[in-house]
C-alpha cells in the first residue's frame, strides 16, 4: 500500500536529497548482502524467528511512498537531455529567482514551480509485479483518470512520455504532465510534474522535454478556474491507488 506524503513547498535540491536517502535505503534493503545478513540473523542458534520474506531479494520490506510537493522556480535536465534546450542564461535565471539542475532521471528538460503538482513515487515495482515501462504507463493512466472529471481527455503521444491534450493534432497538441523517472533494483524515484495553476510563462525559456513544436498547458488554463492544490493532490493520489490496484 502506498503511503501519502506531502512535503509542501520545498527547494528542489532539498527534495532530491530526501528522495535519495529514501531511495538508497530501499535499494540497500534489496541487495544480496542485506539478504544474507537477514538470513544469517534468522539462522542464529536459539532464534525461533522466521525469515521475513519481504526483505529478501526481489522485494523491499520498506513502505512504498507517494510523495507530493511543489518547488520554487527550477529547470531540471535529464541525464540524456540536451542542455541547449535551456534557452535562458545564468543572468536571466538569477533575475527570475530560478535555478537549474542536471539530474539522474530520464527525459530531457522540464520546469517545476509553484502551482504544479510534483509527484515522487518511491516504490518497489516488484510489489506490483510490473516493469519500468508498465510503471510509466500506470502513472500516465493515473493522470488521465485525474483529468477526466474536469472534462479533459488526457492522451499519450507516440514516442513521448507524459500526458497530452489533443495529442493527435499537430497544431493543438499540448503537454499537461511530464514524466521522468529513475530506477534501480526495481525501486523508483523522481516521477511526474502535473501543471495545475502553473505560471506557463516559464516554459518560454526552454524547449519542453526537447520539443520545439509542442505547447504546454495547465488545468487552470484549460478549465478557466484556479484550482485547490491540496484537493488536486488528494484526487491524484486516489487515482494512483485505483490504477495500481490498491
Q: What is the pLDDT of residues 188-210, one digit of tens each?
A: 999 999 999 999 999 988 886 66
Q: Are strands 109-112 and 155-157 parallel, antiparallel or unpaired?
A: unpaired
**Secondary structure class of 156 (helix, strand, coil):** strand
Neighbours of 211 (CB within 10 A): 16
Q: Which residues are marked as active site? A: 209
Asked if the 2-35+57-243 domain carries CATH number 3.30.930.10, the reply is yes
- Residue-wise pLDDT tens digits, 81-128: 888 888 899 999 999 999 999 998 988 889 999 999 999 999 999 999
User: What's the whole-model pTM score?
Assistant: 0.87
User: Residue 127 has which C-alpha cell?
Assistant: 510489489
Amino acid at each position: 500500500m502506498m503511503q501519502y506524503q506531502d512535503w509542501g513547498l520545498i527547494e528542489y535540491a532539498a527534495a532530491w536529497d530526501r528522495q535519495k536517502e529514501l531511495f538508497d535505503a530501499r535499494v540497500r534493503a534489496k541487495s544480496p548482502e542485506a539478504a544474507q545478513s537477514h538470513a544469517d540473523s534468522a539462522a542464529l542458534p536459539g532464534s525461533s524467528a522466521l525469515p521475513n520474506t519481504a526483505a529478501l531479494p526481489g522485494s523491499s520490506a520498506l513502505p512504498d511512498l507517494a510523495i507530493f510537493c511543489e518547488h520554487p522556480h527550477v529547470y531540471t535536465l535529464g541525464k540524456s537531455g540536451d542542455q541547449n534546450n535551456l534557452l535562458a542564461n545564468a543572468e536571466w535565471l538569477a533575475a527570475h529567482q530560478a535555478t537549474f539542475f542536471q539530474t539522474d532521471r530520464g527525459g530531457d528538460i522540464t520546469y517545476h514551480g509553484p502551482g504544479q503538482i510534483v509527484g515522487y513515487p518511491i516504490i518497489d515495482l516488484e510489489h506490483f509485479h510490473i516493469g519500468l515501462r508498465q510503471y510509466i504507463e500506470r502513472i500516465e493512466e493515473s493522470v488521465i483518470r485525474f483529468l477526466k472529471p474536469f472534462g479533459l481527455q488526457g492522451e499519450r503521444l507516440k514516442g513521448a512520455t507524459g500526458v497530452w491534450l489533443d495529442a493527435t493534432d499537430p497544431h493543438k497538441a499540448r503537454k499537461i504532465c511530464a514524466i521522468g523517472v529513475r530506477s534501480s533494483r526495481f525501486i523508483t524515484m523522481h516521477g511526474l510534474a502535473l501543471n495545475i495553476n502553473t505560471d506557463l510563462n516559464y516554459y518560454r525559456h526552454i524547449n519542453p522535454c526537447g520539443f520545439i513544436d509542442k505547447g504546454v498547458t495547465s488545468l487552470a488554463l484549460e478549465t478557466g478556474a484556479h484550482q485547490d492544490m491540496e484537493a488536486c493532490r488528494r484526487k491524484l493520489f486516489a487515482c494512483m491507488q485505483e490504477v495500481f490496484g490498491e
